[in-house]
Structure 1
Amino acid sequence: MLAVKVPKKEAERVRRQLLELGVLAEGYAVKREGEFILFPVTKPVEGFELVEAEFERLERRPHSYREVVEVPKELRPLLPSSFDIVGDIAIIELPGELMPHGRAIGEAILKVHRNIKAVFAKGSKVEGEYRVRELVHLAGENRTETIHRENGIRLKLDVAKVYYTPRLSTERMRVFEKTQAGEVVFDMFSGVGPYSILLAKKAKLVFACDINPWAVRYLEENIRLNRANNVVPILGDVRKVAGKIKADRVIMNLPRFADRFLREAMMSVKPGGVIHYYGFGPEEDPFSEHGAKIKAAARELGLSVEFLDSRKVRPYAPRQVNIAIDFRVL
């Protein structure tokens, strides 16, 4: 078979170049010969040393659990195309028709994704004061505690006892990039600390409040795990904390009920400070209602607001989106 022969130190650069040219032969293991690497190619490539070599075929691994799972043919269109991965735990949302086949689905996920050790199905919606859901064990280890890595931090948590979604990782990094060195931050609904621990890398001080004692327990562990000693954990109702803190930046990641806490947020931000507000809204016009509530809350306190950014963060439900509104309080 035709191959490109390059020194080891140039191997990664050449591999990327061959991929860009579309000539790297798929399904074969690269070959090592002394201080050289041989890449199988589909046709001659100018500018490289070409040789003939034999290559070992690679066994193709499935890319999706749907390729290997065994369920009745008529149910296959119902198989979800994605699921959440928190640490080494997978959480999948299955329609009722597929729940009797949950074990087979869980085993297929474990087979395809070697880094996953436990699979659960969502047994209920996120609900209650602590924003948790019932989980149904499908396959693998029957445990719900894990360590999740995102944005250069580690988060220890129990997916059955606290609210956490990996789908906001990009949004959390967006807020981090807007945060200025030396700021005081108030994370009103901190959970286990995905915003707080990350922002602590820049902020002078982060006050992190949550009403769920399990969330605060894991937050305290995550402070130690990440050496984020400038994070102050607060267990309790944020309404009892509001006004006692004056922050440069306030995080309101409670999208279902954040509008009920706008007064508390504005009481806790310094003049000119920024609030990151989250909510849910209809796909066609998700911002208007929330914007009106923000203005009304400011008027009640004799304040004004300057809207900085409004964006759709992610789809949430049919024709519903999770939105973010950044505004300055004046």
Structure 2
Amino acid sequence: MLAVKVPKREAEKVRRKLIDLGVLAKGYAVKREGEFILFPVTGPVEGFELVEAEFERLERKPHSYREVVEVPDEVRGLLPSSLDIIGEVAIIELPEELMPYGKAIGEAILKVHRHIKAVFAKGSKISGEYRVRELIYLAGERRTETLHRENGIRLKLDVAKVYFSPRLATERMRIFEKTHPWEVVFDMFAGVGPYAVLLAKKAKLVFACDINPWAIRYLEENIRLNQADNVVPILGDVRKVAGKFEADRVIMNLPKFADRFLREAMLSVRDGGVIHYYGFGPEEDLFSEHEAKIKAVARELGFGVEFRGERKVRPYAPRQFNIAIDFQVLK
């Protein structure tokens, strides 16, 4: 096939130009001949030396495990399009009909995502005081501890012992961008510290509370990993911690039950401080019920509230969304 022949020192510049011109042939490996590089092209290119050459075809890499997994046609349409990747661990939600093919699905995920070492299926919903779920082993190594990287920080955790969602990385960065260097932050349900450790890079001080001893153990390790010495880990019930200090910003990342802790959040924020509240809402009316609860608790305490922003964070279930409400407390 037709090729452009250039000296090695000019190869990268020429490659970019061929891409810009739309003439670089896709699916072929470039060829080296002594001090020259040969690029396959789809037609003549003015201003370059053209030669005839044979090129090795590149094997197309699959983009999804669904392209390589072998399951019966009658259940192929049930294969999930998404999975959670936490460090070197992948967690996928499989309908009952696909569970007999769990091993094949797990091995397909390992084949496509080479950095993943272990694959599990969700065995139950998140439940209990510690917000954890049962996991079913599918393929790879039988381990649940991993090191996850996001937003420039490292987080060590065990996916079987603590709650963690990689899908909130963008939301965590949104709060980071709103935080000021002089602020004291209270992370009421801190987990292993994805909010707390990130915000510590910008805030003056971060109080991070969780009732799960495993979460605090990993939080303490993540403080060391990221040199986040301005994070204060607190093991215990947030009800007993609330009101013992005054924060400029409070994070309530407990969407299923956050409304039960609004009183504690408002008692812990200074006059004019901001609370980031998370909940679940139906598509037809995402925010009204949560707004009403926020206003009711504020009235009980004799406070005022001013809503500063509302947004859909991510889909949670059919016609249900994880939502965020930012509001200011006026005392």
Report the residue type matching 1:186 in the other structure.
Answer: F
Per the TM alignment, residue 271 of structure 1 is displaced from its structure 2 partner at its CA by 1.1
1:270 aligns to what?
270
* 3-state SS of paired residue (1:221): helix
**In 1, distance between residues paired with 2:329 and 2:7?**
59
Per the TM alignment, residue 14 of structure 1 is displaced from its structure 2 partner at its CA by 5.4
2:195 aligns to what?
195
List aligned pairs for 1:68-217, cutoff 5 A.
Answer: 68-217=68-217
1:228-286 deviations in whole A, cap 9, x for unaligned? 11100000000101001211111100000001111111111111111111000001211
Per the TM alignment, residue 54 of structure 1 is displaced from its structure 2 partner at its CA by 3.7
Unmatched 5+ stretches in structure 1:
none
- Aligned-residue sequence identity (percent) comes to 82
Distance 1:14 1:268, change over 3 A: farther
**In 1, distance between residues paired with 2:13 and 2:253?**
42
1:148-167 deviations in whole A, cap 9, x for unaligned? 00011000000000000100
Matched, 1:49 2:28: no
CA contact (8 A) 1:188 1:209 kept: yes
1:238 aligns to what?
238
CA contact (8 A) 2:29 2:58 kept: yes
**In 2, distance between residues paired with 1:6 and 1:175?**
49
Report the residue type matching 1:49 in the other structure.
Answer: F
2:261 aligns to what?
261
1:196-253 deviations in whole A, cap 9, x for unaligned? 0100000111100000000000000000011111100000000101001211111100
Per the TM alignment, residue 328 of structure 1 is displaced from its structure 2 partner at its CA by 1.1
**In 2, distance between residues paired with 1:152 and 1:95?**
34
CA contact (8 A) 2:4 2:40 kept: yes
CA contact (8 A) 1:187 1:196 kept: yes
Unmatched 5+ stretches in structure 2:
none
CA contact (8 A) 1:283 1:321 kept: yes
Per the TM alignment, residue 43 of structure 1 is displaced from its structure 2 partner at its CA by 2.9
Between the two proteins, the alignment pairs up a number of residues equal to 329
**In 2, distance between residues paired with 1:180 and 1:10?**
47
Distance 1:158 1:9, change over 3 A: farther
Q: What is the RMSD of the two structures over their aligned residues, measured on CA atoms?
A: 1.8
**In 2, distance between residues paired with 1:190 and 1:324?**
16
CA contact (8 A) 1:2 1:50 kept: no
Per the TM alignment, residue 57 of structure 1 is displaced from its structure 2 partner at its CA by 1.7
Distance 1:236 1:30, change over 3 A: same
* 3-state SS of paired residue (1:78): coil
CA contact (8 A) 2:44 2:50 kept: no
1:161-180 deviations in whole A, cap 9, x for unaligned? 00001000111111111111
CA contact (8 A) 1:91 1:121 kept: yes
**In 2, distance between residues paired with 1:273 and 1:222?**
27
**In 1, distance between residues paired with 2:264 and 2:9?**
58
Per the TM alignment, residue 5 of structure 1 is displaced from its structure 2 partner at its CA by 5.3
Which range moved further: 202-211 or 296-305?
296-305
2:289 aligns to what?
289
Per the TM alignment, residue 6 of structure 1 is displaced from its structure 2 partner at its CA by 5.9
Provide TM-score, normalisation by structure 1. 0.94
Per the TM alignment, residue 37 of structure 1 is displaced from its structure 2 partner at its CA by 4.8
Distance 1:278 1:70, change over 3 A: same
Distance 1:43 1:86, change over 3 A: same
**In 1, distance between residues paired with 2:166 and 2:159?**
11
CA contact (8 A) 1:44 1:50 kept: no
**In 2, distance between residues paired with 1:7 and 1:207?**
59
List aligned pairs for 1:53-72, cutoff 5 A.
Answer: 53-72=53-72
CA contact (8 A) 1:29 1:57 kept: yes
